[in-house]
Amino acid sequence: MTPDTAGQTPARAIADGYTCDGAALELGTVLVDGACDTEARVRIPLATLNRHGLVAGATGTGKTKTLQAMAGQLSDAGVPVLLADVKGDLSGMVRAGEGNEKVDARARDTGDDWTPTAYPVQFLSLGDGGVAVPVRATITDFGPILLSKVLGLNATQESTLGLIFHWADQKQLPLLDTKDLRAVIQHLLSDEGKAELKGIGGVSASTAGVILRALVNLEAQGGDTFFGEPEFDPADLMREIDGKGVVTLLELAERASSPVLFSTFLMWLLAELYDELPEAGDLDKPKLVFFFDEAHLLFADASKAFLERIEQTVKLIRSKGVGVFFCTQLPTDVPNEVLSQLGARVQHALRAFTPEDQKALNRTVKTYPRSDVYDLETALTSLGTGEAIVTVLSERGAPTPVAWTRLRAPRSLMSAIGDEAVTEAARQSPLHAKYGEMVDRDSAYEQLARRMAEAAGVEAAPAPAPGTPAPAPPPAAPPAREAAEGGLFAKFGDFLKSPTGKQITNTVTREITRSLFGTRRRR
């Protein structure tokens, strides 16, 4: 390496941009021409973590270990962390790491006084049937916008679902689980309920049938066990034990077949945090750091309204002291409007095997500040495992120089501890007593059943016991009827686009959107 005009080596000149007075996450050391300088440190000031970030890279490049190392340092600093553990690889954070030649070599390269460390971890699973404490949300609190994303509805169907939520809200019919929503839709399509549609614009029978079938598909994937009570309180993410921030691992291996559900659930949690937390202003460290793994699933096939609300949430939640890191393979997986809000970039190696890969590589290079030291296009395809191209925001809010960084090794165990160990740890958690058993209280399904029974002059069936499967929906309309109703569906879509339809939709949106995603605020 040759000194620069100030007498510094290129590595030291780059590291000068990463100096800070306050506490910081130590990412690693600068690498130039294949050599590490242990004094050229790359770090992220804790005070800038609420400016959000991106951790990206191809499979097998070390993203998971980067998340693990960052989460461990945050915990040491007293900052709670939420991590989506999609593959179960992060459960080892509950145990101290094990040294070996590779870890020792990495510690020497990065100037790290590596010490095996275990962290306080709480394990969660989506709904019943997982290995950890089940977490749930009610249909009402999840809201029509997020639920439409889970069900794969189009814009017109999303509007219809919003109208259904509005009616149930006005009639004070709690939508706690999928059978409640199904009962409401069936009631509105019945002879008894059609008269009640006049004030909300009407619901097409074919559209309602689409929503019902989507609910059945969700139940077939086990998604119905996620909706219900007791509902998870996001405040349970904000915990410390003996001065260390609690690391919450959302175990998602058993939900691999329903990725849209867990990505949308993470967005619901983020929206709930925004609603619940007070304004915090500038803090020395964040209140919580939220790692949003498999972020591409959140944005894929998302409606314009959904994307706008994600952008709003990311912009606004920083004032609540929450930092969000999106984790994905390519920066291009994240829309530009969201990507522009991410102050820190930790980019692991990219592959350029296809024309599409090359296009993504070129676009990625353009998102970084200009570098006089590295050819970024070459660097991004030459990074070794556990290395990344980094740029963050300095304490004064300016982008730091681009740094080819050899990253520190995690101090916790870098392997899974197994489902049995996770389940045992979950049972010992105080959250198990709070969320372990599902509660099925009186709600829309039971109330509508009583109403129909009273009208028929018979005794209503008792409320189902917890865990009782929801009744099956009625059979779909025959093809001839669906064809006949297709015109009604088209007319309804045209109506929503008309001035009158837009006015009604805006009124409904104001009624049900108590937060950015239409979720019900807690009282």
**Could you report the per-residue pLDDT of 373-384, keeping only the tens digit for each?**
999 999 999 999
Residues 158 and 179 in one domain: yes
Residues 318 and 398 in one domain: yes
Domain interval for residue 119: 10-136+237-275+290-430
Domain boundary among 430, 456, 476: 430
Domain boundary among 393, 411, 430: 430
The residue written with tokens 């099925």 in the block is 440
User: In terms of pLDDT, which residue wins out, 270 or 202?
Assistant: 270
Q: What is the pTM of this model?
A: 0.84
- Decide if 280 is inside a domain: no
- Decide if 523 is inside a domain: no
Mind spelling out the 3-state secondary structure of 103-169?
HHHHHHHHCCCCCCCCCCEEEEEECCCCCCEEECECHHHHCHHHHHHHHCCCHHHHHHHHHHHHHHH
Residue 439 structure tokens: 């509660």
Residues 323 and 193 in one domain: no
Residues 188 and 202 in one domain: yes
Buried b (16+ CB within 10 A) or exposed e, 133-147: bbbbbbbbbbbbbbb
Contact predicate 261/127, CB 8 Å: no
- Decide if 196 is inside a domain: yes
In the chain, the amino acid numbered 429 is: S
- Decide if 242 is inside a domain: yes
Residues 334 and 247 in one domain: yes
Mind spelling out the 3-state secondary structure of 388-403?
EEEECECCCCCECCCE
- Decide if 366 is inside a domain: yes
Count the Cβ atoms, other than its own, within 10 Å of residue 397. 11
Distance CA 377, CA 359 (A): 11
* CATH number of the domain enclosing 300: 3.40.50.300
pLDDT at 473 over 60: no
Residues 29 and 112 in one domain: yes
Residue of 512, 489, 444, 471 whose CA lies nearest to 210: 489
Residues 119 and 198 in one domain: no
- Decide if 4 is inside a domain: no
Q: Provide, for the chain, the percentages of residues in helix, strand and coil under a 3-state DSSP scheme, each rounded to the nearest 5.
A: 45, 15, 40
- Decide if 161 is inside a domain: yes
Average pLDDT, stretch 394-422?
95
Residues 352 and 458 in one domain: no
Residues 191 and 97 in one domain: no
Residues 203 and 294 in one domain: no
Q: Total structural domains in the chain?
A: 2
Residues 131 and 189 in one domain: no
Q: Look at phi and psi of residue 199 and say left if phi exceeds 0, alpha if psi is from -120 to 50, else beta.
A: alpha
Domain boundary among 430, 459, 481: 430
In the chain, the amino acid numbered 370 is: R
pLDDT at 68 over 50: yes
pLDDT at 92 over 50: yes
- Decide if 148 is inside a domain: yes
* pLDDT digits 0-9 by tens, 307-346: 888 888 899 999 999 999 999 988 888 988 899 999 999 9
* pLDDT digits 0-9 by tens, 215-247: 888 888 778 889 999 999 999 999 999 999 999
Residues 313 and 382 in one domain: yes
Determine phi and psi for 333, rounding to 5 degrees.
-70, -20
The conformation of residue 296, written as its DSSP 8-state character, comes to H
